[in-house]
Amino acid sequence: MTKVCPKPEEKRMCEEAVVEPISADVSFASNQFPSYKLGPNDQIVDEPEENEKGPSVKDVVDKETGDLSDQHKRLSVRDLACKFDKNLASAAKLVDEAKLNEVTSLEGHVMLKKLRDALEFMRGRMDGRNKEEVEKAISMVEALAVKLTQNEGGLIQEKFEVKKLANFLKQASEDAKKLVNQENSFACAEIESARALVLRLGGTFEEQELCSKASRALGPNVEKLVEEVQEARRIKRMHKPTKVMGMQHELHDLKSQIQEKSVYSVKLQREIAIIKRAEGSKSCPYALDGAQSLGSCLRIRASSDSALDISKCSIQWYRAASESSRREAISGANQAVYAPEPFDVGRVIQADIVSNGQKFTVTTDGPINTAAGLQSRVESFLRKSNSEFTVIISQMNGQDHASRSHVFTVGKVRIKLSRGWITKAREIYSNSMQLCGVRCNANVPAKSLFWQPRKGLTFLLTFESEQERNAAIVLSRKYAYDCNVTLVGPED
């Protein structure tokens, strides 16, 4: 029995369908139609190109013509689908033939069984030589049955392969049809969009042409009218100021008047303050000495012989935004000497003196001024990651402390006091840390600083100069503020 298989031509056709690529769209060198004309006998006439760097129109047309001829030689999607349909029909025919062979094989088994039964019946009645011949015939029938069974196995395998090939071709045919429909829809959409673009461009060109014609027709008149309007506006501005300009002049006059009155008001307030202080100084037996700026010391002294000794009086220092505003007590400042710190800049400093049951108040002539050169000094320190100052520990935990020079390091996240490899204190900025100008007895108040790294540990540090002490306070408070911490003095 022969094996059923597809024809060689059909098999080669399937391989070509799988291997050969599908035709692609034509790719143009630019996104617009090439500008060329057709001369006599359909010959291409080149036009001068705007862009000399790109290829010429003739080269583009030749290239596209070659691409179209190459694509024409390839299998199109529709041709591919037709070949799949033909192969599918061949596979269906093979399936039908396999079914017929299966029926024929079944009939052969039935006939062989009947023949064997008949031979078995004859063998029972025969003897001698005839019986041997019948047995040979039975063995031959059994051999034919085995061979028929083997042929059926091969037939079943061929049937399975044919069905598999038929399913593959059917799926490929459906995919090809889908691809054809999809490409067709894409092509229709592209055609419609190109058609709409052409119509829109045509309408735009028509509108531009109409506008250009109208502008050419009305050009001289429009230019003359524009010149006349501009000349009229210029004459109007020269001879008749606008309302806005008048309002601007009025606002300028009002601003100048308000500025003059504010200056006069400030002058009057200063004169009134001087008069009040003069009247108070006549009755107050104490006076305030010292420059009213950072780096100096304010000192209370007796201004009359009848005044009680200042060391026997009770003193409390205050800071206020102005003389008439609410005062803020400076905690711990109860000595006759007070050194202003950066927090006092722009504020008035006052001191209450209680002597023999009477209360007297002395006040600075104006707000405390900043020290010269302090701002530039602080800016130079801000450019560094850590700022180091040379200090001497005057007191430690309220007790006098004799020591050599130490280094007071102000960083962006912590403050450290050390000498060489020995660290006295090192703490990050926290709510338990306190830092301010000295408010108690000190040898040089303007150069001294109070620092509490943590609870239970305090230092009284003396700097080399007043400027370095004030710069250290400003830097520490600035870095602490960046860490959401406010550095102030005790009970502030």
Whole-number Cα distances in Å, 148 to 117, 139, 143: 17, 14, 9
Determine the Cα–Cα distance for residues 349 and 367; give it in Å rounded to an integer: 7
Q: The domain spanning residue 331 has which CATH number?
A: 2.60.40.2700
In-domain check, residue 88: no
What is the chain's length?
A: 492
Half-sphere exposure of 406 (CA within 13 A, CB side): 22
Q: Looking at the structure, do residues 298 and 269 belong to the same domain, yes or no?
A: no
Determine the Cα–Cα distance for residues 105 and 373; give it in Å rounded to an integer: 118
Q: Looking at the structure, do residues 240 and 194 belong to the same domain, yes or no?
A: no
Residue tagged 């050419």 (tokens): 216
Determine the Cα–Cα distance for residues 187 and 25; give it in Å rounded to an integer: 10
Q: Looking at the structure, do residues 268 and 296 belong to the same domain, yes or no?
A: no
Q: Looking at the structure, do residues 380 and 409 belong to the same domain, yes or no?
A: yes
Q: Looking at the structure, do residues 183 and 230 belong to the same domain, yes or no?
A: no
Q: In what order do the strands lie in the sheet with 286-289?
A: 286-289, 298-302, 337-338
Q: 3-state DSSP call for residue 395?
A: strand
Q: At what angle do helices 8-19 and 77-125 cross, to 10 degrees?
A: 140
Q: Which domain holds residue 273?
A: 220-278
Q: 3-state DSSP call for residue 111?
A: helix
Q: Looking at the structure, do residues 259 and 202 belong to the same domain, yes or no?
A: no
Is residue 350 within 8 Å of 327, Cβ to Cβ? yes
In-domain check, residue 49: no
In-domain check, residue 178: yes
Q: Looking at the structure, do residues 438 and 381 belong to the same domain, yes or no?
A: yes
Single residue among 368, 393, 427 that ends a domain in this structure: 368
For residue 399, which of 474, 472, 459, 451 has the smallest C-alpha distance? 459
Determine the Cα–Cα distance for residues 384 and 17; give it in Å rounded to an integer: 76
**Both structure tokens of 84:** 């799949």
Total domains, the chain:
4
> What is the pTM for the complete model shown?
0.46
Q: Looking at the structure, do residues 449 and 397 belong to the same domain, yes or no?
A: yes
In-domain check, residue 52: no
Q: Looking at the structure, do residues 190 and 231 belong to the same domain, yes or no?
A: no
Single residue among 368, 394, 423 that ends a domain in this structure: 368
Q: How far is CA 268 from the centre of its chain?
A: 57
| Beta bridge partners of residue 345, listed in sequence order | 368
Q: Looking at the structure, do residues 338 and 232 belong to the same domain, yes or no?
A: no
In-domain check, residue 489: no
Single residue among 209, 242, 262 that ends a domain in this structure: 209
Determine the Cα–Cα distance for residues 466 and 444; give it in Å rounded to an integer: 9
Q: The domain spanning residue 100 has which CATH number?
A: 1.20.5.440
In-domain check, residue 42: no
In-domain check, residue 9: no
Determine the Cα–Cα distance for residues 434 and 488; give it in Å rounded to an integer: 6
Q: Looking at the structure, do residues 312 and 360 belong to the same domain, yes or no?
A: yes
Q: What is the pLDDT along the chain (492 residues), one digit of tens a residue?
A: 444 444 444 444 444 444 344 444 444 444 444 455 555 655 555 554 444 455 665 676 677 677 766 665 555 556 666 666 676 677 667 667 766 666 666 667 777 777 777 777 777 777 767 777 777 777 887 787 788 787 777 777 877 887 787 778 778 778 877 887 888 888 888 888 888 888 888 888 888 888 877 777 766 677 778 888 888 877 776 665 566 677 777 888 888 888 888 888 877 877 776 676 666 555 678 888 888 889 899 998 888 777 788 888 999 999 988 777 788 899 888 888 999 999 999 899 999 998 888 888 888 888 899 888 899 999 999 999 899 999 999 999 988 887 789 999 999 999 999 998 999 999 999 999 999 999 887 788 999 999 999 999 999 999 999 999 999 999 999 999 999 999 988 887
Q: Looking at the structure, do residues 199 and 119 belong to the same domain, yes or no?
A: yes
| Beta bridge partners of residue 434, listed in sequence order | 452
In-domain check, residue 61: no
